[in-house]
């Protein structure tokens, strides 16, 4: 169970949800103790009293693993001696993907309003500094704005499949020089790339992916939010939503990348290598994903947070949205002004970054 909700109830609530909202993904996070007591990610699910609808949120004791950065807000609170934590945050832990926040078979406004009423009551009755809904799905920003939330805008980079039938179709839309660069980047001597999904995935793949994940954590001097148990679980229980790509030299694995996918979207998540190879990151994290999207007719490839270098590979800068409400009136007002100015910068940045896309005129 996740916060008292059984697997059957969760699946019945939203049978066609994306991989990160599936019970198996959340259960893997919980059973691996990546979330739960002592992690700063304590799940809190709001259940509709008469319908099988849910709102998934987390009580947060820090801001790690969110990708919509509010560290400056927390520091401002600290300077004035006001606690910023705990706070209530709704998103998929460690996963910057756009997704619905209301689990229900079909949208029902009255049910959404009731879930928000339950959420707001809990939020007001407890000592949370604020409430935050991150990576809002289409149509959700206006809903949260109507509930008094500030709508913040950020930038991600997405590949959009224009009905390509093969990788060369995608390349042929580019300026000749950009096309030439990518073809050169994809040339590797002595490396073989193999993709695995569904029944092709093995326990050995999961263990190797975990080690590659750790190598990236070490290189970036970052935090290993996830452990081997998590990777073993998702490879076992979510194989139908996983793409694992491995690069080998003389049959020895030297690098790999891990993606999730559903019927419309590919999500790039983790990668790692045990030896530096020029351009290997681009191949495993971007080109292999684009190739998979084209072959499987997926509409969008969300390649994760940040990374302006994605633009040269055909990933368009797009706006993502989050909703924020702060209990302290003065801070809510100050952050409202901050977000207003930030929106101008985000939209200007998207306009300028779009000029760098590699497409022909």
Write down the pLDDT at residue 3. 72
Write down the pLDDT at residue 119. 97
- Percent of the chain predicted with pLDDT > 70: 99
Write down the pLDDT at residue 304. 79
CATH code linked to domain 7-155+318-354? 3.40.630
Write down the pLDDT at residue 31. 96
Each domain of the chain, given as residue ranges in start order, spans: 7-155+318-354, 162-298
Architecture of domain 162-298: 3-Layer(aba) Sandwich (3.40)
Parts of the chain with a pLDDT under 70: 1, 15
Write down the pLDDT at residue 1. 59
- How far, in Å, CA of 107 to CA of 120, rounded? 20
Write down the pLDDT at residue 183. 95
- Residue 296 has, within 13 A of its CA and on its CB side, a CA count of 18
**pLDDT per residue as tens digits for the range 78-97:** 999 999 999 999 999 999 99
**42, 36 Cβ separation under 8 angstroms:** yes
Question: Model-level pTM?
Answer: 0.95
Write down the pLDDT at residue 63. 97
Alpha-helical regions (H) of the chain: 7-13, 23-31, 71-79, 109-125, 140-146, 167-171, 176-185, 203-220, 228-237, 280-282, 288-296, 329-354
Domains 7-155+318-354 and 162-298 share a fold: yes
Q: What are the DSSP calls for 173-240, one per residue?
A: TB-HHHHHHHHHHT--SS-EEEEEEGGG--HHHHHHHHHHHHHHHHHHT------HHHHHHHHHH-GG
């Amino acid at each position: 169970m996740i916060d008292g909700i059984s697997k059957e109830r969760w699946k019945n609530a939203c049978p066609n949800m994306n991989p990160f909202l599936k019970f198996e993904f959340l259960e893997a996070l919980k059973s691996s103790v990546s979330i739960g007591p002592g992690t700063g990610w304590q799940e809190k699910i709001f259940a509709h009293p008469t319908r099988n609808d849910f709102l998934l949120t987390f009580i947060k004791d820090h801001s790690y693993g969110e990708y919509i950065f509010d560290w400056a807000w927390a520091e401002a609170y600290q300077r004035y001696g006001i606690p910023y934590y705990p706070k209530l945050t709704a998103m998929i832990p460690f996963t910057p993907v756009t997704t619905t926040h209301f689990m229900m078979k079909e949208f029902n406004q009255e049910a959404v309003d009731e879930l928000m009423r339950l959420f707001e009551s809990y939020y007001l009755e407890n000592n949370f500094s604020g409430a935050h809904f991150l990576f809002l799905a289409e149509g959700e920003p206006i809903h949260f704005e109507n509930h008094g939330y500030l709508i913040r805008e950020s930038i991600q980079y997405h590949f959009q499949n224009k009905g390509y039938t093969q990788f060369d179709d995608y390349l042929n839309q580019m300026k000749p020089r950009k096309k030439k660069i990518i073809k050169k980047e994809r040339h590797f001597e002595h490396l073989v790339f193999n993709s695995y999904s569904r029944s092709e995935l093995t326990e050995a793949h999961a263990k190797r992916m975990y080690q590659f994940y750790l190598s990236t954590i070490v290189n970036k001097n970052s935090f290993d939010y996830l452990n081997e148990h998590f990777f073993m679980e998702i490879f076992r229980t979510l194989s139908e939503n996983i793409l694992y790509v491995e690069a080998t030299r003389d049959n020895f694995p030297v690098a790999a990348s891990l993606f999730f996918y559903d019927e419309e979207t590919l999500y790039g998540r983790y990668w790692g290598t045990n030896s530096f190879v020029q351009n290997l990151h681009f191949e495993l994290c971007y080109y292999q994903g684009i190739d998979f999207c084209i072959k499987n007719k997926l509409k969008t490839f969300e390649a994760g947070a940040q990374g302006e270098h994605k633009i040269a590979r055909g990933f368009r800068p797009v706006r993502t949205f989050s909703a924020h409400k702060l209990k302290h009136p003065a801070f809510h007002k100050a952050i409202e002004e901050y977000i207003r100015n930030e929106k101008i910068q985000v939209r200007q940045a998207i306009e300028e970054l779009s000029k760098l896309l590699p497409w022909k005129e």
